[in-house]
Structure 1
Amino acid sequence: MNGEPVIDVRGLTKRFGDKTVVDHFDLKVPRGSIYGFLGPNGSGKTTTIRMVCGLLKPDEGEGTCLGYDVLHESMKIKNKVGYMTQRFSLYEDLSIRENLEFFARLYGLGQVRRRVDDAIASLGLEGRSKQLAGSLSGGWKQRLALAVSMMHNPQLLLLDEPTAGVDPKARRDFWDTIREYSRQGVTTLVSTHYMDEAVQCDRIAYIAYGKKLLDAPTAEIPGRLGLHAFKLDNGDLEKLTAELRGADGVEILARFGASIHVCGKDREKLAATVDRIRGEPGVRVTEIEAGLEEAFIYLMANSDDNFSVGDAA
């Protein structure tokens, strides 16, 4: 990454009726980075992505994407962007090869056969090229959608909840591919609410109900929030949960498998509360570093939902 901004937008705002779906959003993304949009469903992530890539005109704001003005040069932006939506949107009654050939021609690409062969080979689809797209599993549909998105060699890849409904191995394989594109200089902007995807991103903008609450390198987010955490193992976890809920210093109380994570910003108050249950039968208390998931839960708990009806995408 050389620091050159591929996306540089300021004050992007979008309203639908009386709802402000995206509220004065700023974003600067350097070339070759993987930039995550994290936040609950209905927070404006998809709407922001569509404004950035020229698919939706903002009501307010300005800026550039790939050097083009987002307000007045949207067609130029679209031609240089690969966009992969959450829902599989290719032709299910066409084969893998037929889909790739169709979109290669739609993009106006030359040497269609070579490009299609390269796309099939690069994503390991050789043995399935004649298979109908509609009969593919979620992971293979994902590979095909990514291959189509990258056929015209875009400089920017926009991924909207790209691995929803895909098994863990397919998700890992997918992210290996995205990392390889990043090494080649392709910038990726991805919206997600999966923690194991968020940690793959170089930087995360946390969005809640139209507002950006945090924008930082992924590894720094828990520290920036100033959260302290304790892990409670064994014992009667249901009883411990009831005792700790709402107690002094406890801002986050979350079940992680056979453990409870207790988090808060005031370590002194939190530690004093946790100390009171150390004597419970079988309970083991360990101080831990708050991670990205605890940070995500904390941000959600402290976000005001201003969309009581409707879908803000």
Structure 2
Amino acid sequence: MDRIEEFRQDERVSMPLAEAGWESQGELFPVTQNLPVPVPGYLPVAAEPAAEPAILVENLGKQYGSQWAVDDVSFSVPRGATVGLLGGNGAGKTTTIAMIMGLVIPTIGRASVLGHDMARSRFKVLKRMNFESPYVAMPAKLSVRENLTVFGRLYGVPQLKSRITELVEEFDLGDVLDQATGQLSAGQKTRVSVAKALLNDPEVLLLDEPTASLDPDRAEWVRACLRKYQRRRNAAILLSSHNMHEVEELCDYVVIMSYGRIAEIGAPQELIRRYECDSLDEVFFVIAREQEEGEGEHWQDDAS
């Protein structure tokens, strides 16, 4: 399958998978909407106006039938920042990312990337962003070299051969360059996927489990490559990961979602202090438990 088909009201839209693979660079800067109390230290204090965020999510919502997969979510990602988008299964992360990429049309609200509403004008920014997920397979019969070449041409990368050579060296892919991608190990596929994501030198990068299937040394090496890239490009990164050690290491802020809404937002170390926990992992479980108890009370109220 090399295309994604999407239903928008009565219209079916078909698009190449390559278009769905754009990654975005941008910085995520939290806002306090949907929080019970203001979050100290996260709003700009300088008198001069802040630069426009790379990713801006405003009152975003998506309804399927009577169910809200995402319900009134707002946050932003500044340039040069990494923001973690966290949550358990069914929290709404995937739908939120799909709306940020312009693949799903919001029911309410807006997702903007580099100043463009992605539901209306995403094609204006696709070459400036990219997306990485080890769970989105590249054509298995093509070699690593062929895959990088095809995606590079789709992205319109100048001096493509030189760019591929740089990334092959950086991600240590020389030994597998002419192997069929489908024959690679899971860890090798992950490195190819990250290299593909950086081909077009994106300003906005969406990362989904960027170190999945990698051993600890390789994972740390990939994280170092991403930090180096971000510093050079001043890129904005939105990171979705279940690896809380990775989130603590990479993210300036985290947005924790539950039942389609924002449950918490803040810097990892600030959340650890606020919840009096030893790690972000522990914070995540405390919030998840609180949300489950609250949702249970909600259903009891509805039934009474």
2:89 maps to what in 1? 41
Corresponding position: 1:197 with 2:185: no
Q: Deviations over 1:200-224 (max 9, x none)?
A: 2111001112110111111101223
Q: Residue 9 of structure 1 aligns to which amino acid in structure 2?
A: V
Displacement of 1:33 after TM fit? 0.8
Displacement of 1:44 after TM fit? 0.8
Q: Pick the structure with greater CA Rg.
A: 1
Structure 1 vs Structure 2: percent identity of aligned residues?
Answer: 34
1:294 maps to what in 2? 282
2:196 pairs with 148, 151, 168, which one?
Answer: 148
Displacement of 1:293 after TM fit? 1.8
Q: Residue 22 of structure 1 aligns to which amino acid in structure 2?
A: V
- Specify whether residues 187 and 59 from structure 1 end up closer, same or farther in structure 2 by C-alpha distance, changes over 3 A only: same
For 1:128 and 1:303, the matched residues in 2 are separated by 45
For 1:38 and 1:291, the matched residues in 2 are separated by 15
Instruction: Answer yes or no: is the 8 Å Cα contact 1:92–1:135 preserved in 2.
Output: yes
- What's the Cα RMSD here? 2.1
Displacement of 1:86 after TM fit? 4.1
Displacement of 1:118 after TM fit? 2.2
Which structure 2 residues correspond to residues 10-159 of structure 1 after superposition, within 5 A?
A: 10-159=58-207
- Specify whether residues 9 and 18 from structure 1 end up closer, same or farther in structure 2 by C-alpha distance, changes over 3 A only: same
Instruction: Answer yes or no: is the 8 Å Cα contact 2:134–2:189 preserved in 1.
Output: no
Q: Residue 282 of structure 2 aligns to which amino acid in structure 1?
A: E
1:220 maps to what in 2? 270
Structure with bigger helix share is: 2
3-state SS, counterpart of residue 142 of structure 2:
coil
Displacement of 1:83 after TM fit? 0.5
Q: Residue 36 of structure 1 aligns to which amino acid in structure 2?
A: G
Instruction: Answer yes or no: is the 8 Å Cα contact 2:190–2:213 preserved in 1.
Output: no
Q: Residue 171 of structure 1 aligns to which amino acid in structure 2?
A: A
Which structure 2 residues correspond to residues 234-313 of structure 1 after superposition, within 5 A?
A: 290-304=278-292
Structure 2: give runs of 5+ residues left out of the alignment: 1-26, 28-49, 300-304
- Specify whether residues 165 and 19 from structure 1 end up closer, same or farther in structure 2 by C-alpha distance, changes over 3 A only: farther
Q: Deviations over 1:17-61 (max 9, x none)?
A: 222111111011111111101111221111111111222211100
Moved more, 144-153 or 132-141: 132-141
User: What is the TM-score normalised by the length of structure 1?
Assistant: 0.73
- Specify whether residues 86 and 18 from structure 1 end up closer, same or farther in structure 2 by C-alpha distance, changes over 3 A only: farther
Instruction: Answer yes or no: is the 8 Å Cα contact 1:88–1:141 preserved in 2.
Output: no
Moved more, 97-106 or 114-123: 114-123
For 1:4 and 1:179, the matched residues in 2 are separated by 22
Instruction: Answer yes or no: is the 8 Å Cα contact 1:55–1:74 preserved in 2.
Output: no
